């Protein structure tokens, strides 16, 4: 199972909006809505920020939002803040009860 | 609150074995699926293995036949037995708790495994 494809890096100024894409196949992202996103701050464990494509767990800021079209999911960070600087990974449930992560995107706040 | 504490990491020679443990607390352990996810140095996340509440298991192709995931519900502990270790198994290994069979909702702090001669 190949990793989902994400851009290596995305940057933006404080207050701007950025979007991170996550491209898979008809066997994973395109097959259902079991897409999630994880934020990983340097030196820390990942934290889930979106599930079911666009649902936020309790306590997660509403400036994170998600969407999906075909085999591509997207994470949008609105009103970029310095504390949003981190690595972001998408994940999709896949065939055979397996899971596949994205390649990861480093977000830099300029 | 949910707590997951991994242990058992270390430095091991290629071809040897290692067993990781993950002690869980703050939730009803025997009703949730659990997972192991790893991250090689400077690299991305990789799903390793899954075990359902009733002990059905799944593995990534990269570890199938070498790693075994198991659980002891009476001890609220998840395990990962790693055999025939290779240098590309070097990573931080995270224990994670499931949500609805599809998501890694809670994560431990990770345990480091280094495979080196």
Give residue-wise pLDDT tens across range B73-89.
999 999 999 999 999 99
State how far the Cα of A109 lies from the Cα of B69, in Å rounded to an integer. 39
Q: How far is CA B95 from the centre of its chain?
A: 5
Q: What is the pLDDT of residues A47-89, one digit of tens each?
A: 999 999 999 999 999 999 999 999 999 999 999 999 999 999 9
State how far the Cα of B107 lies from the Cα of B117, in Å rounded to an integer. 30
* pLDDT band, very low/low/confident/very high, at A97 (cuts 50, 70, 90): confident
- Which of B44, B94, B105 has the CB atom closest to A3's CB atom? B44
Give the distance from residue A101's alpha carbon to the nearest chain B alpha carbon, in angstroms: 6
Residue of A nearest to B52 (CA): A97
- As beta bridge partners, residue A86 has A107
Residue of B nearest to A91 (CA): B103
Closest CA to B46 of A76, A85, A16, A4: A4
User: Between chains, do B58 and A96 touch, taking CB under 8 Å as contact?
Assistant: yes
């Amino acid at each position: 199972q190949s990793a989902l494809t994400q851009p290596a890096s995305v940057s933006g100024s404080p207050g701007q909006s950025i979007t991170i894409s996550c491209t898979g196949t008809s066997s994973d992202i395109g097959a259902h809505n079991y897409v999630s996103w994880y934020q990983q701050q340097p030196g820390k464990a990942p934290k889930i920020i979106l599930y079911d494509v666009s649902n936020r767990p309790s306590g997660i800021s509403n400036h994170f939002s998600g969407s999906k079209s075909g085999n591509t999911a997207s994470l949008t960070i609105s009103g970029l803040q310095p504390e949003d600087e981190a690595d972001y990974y998408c994940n999709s449930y896949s065939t055979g009860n397996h899971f596949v992560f994205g390649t990861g995107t480093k977000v830099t706040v300029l | 609150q949910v707590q997951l504490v991994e242990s058992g990491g270390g430095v091991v020679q290629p071809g040897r074995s290692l067993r990781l443990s993950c002690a869980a607390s703050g939730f009803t352990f025997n009703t949730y699926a659990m997972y192991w996810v790893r991250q090689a140095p400077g690299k991305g996340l990789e799903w390793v293995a899954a075990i359902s509440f009733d002990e059905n298991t799944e593995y990534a192709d990269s570890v199938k036949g070498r790693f075994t995931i198991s659980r002891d519900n009476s001890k609220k502990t998840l395990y990962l037995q790693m055999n025939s270790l290779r240098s590309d198994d070097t990573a931080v290994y995270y224990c994670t708790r499931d949500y609805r069979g599809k998501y890694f909702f809670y994560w431990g702090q990770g345990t480091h495994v280094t495979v080196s001669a």
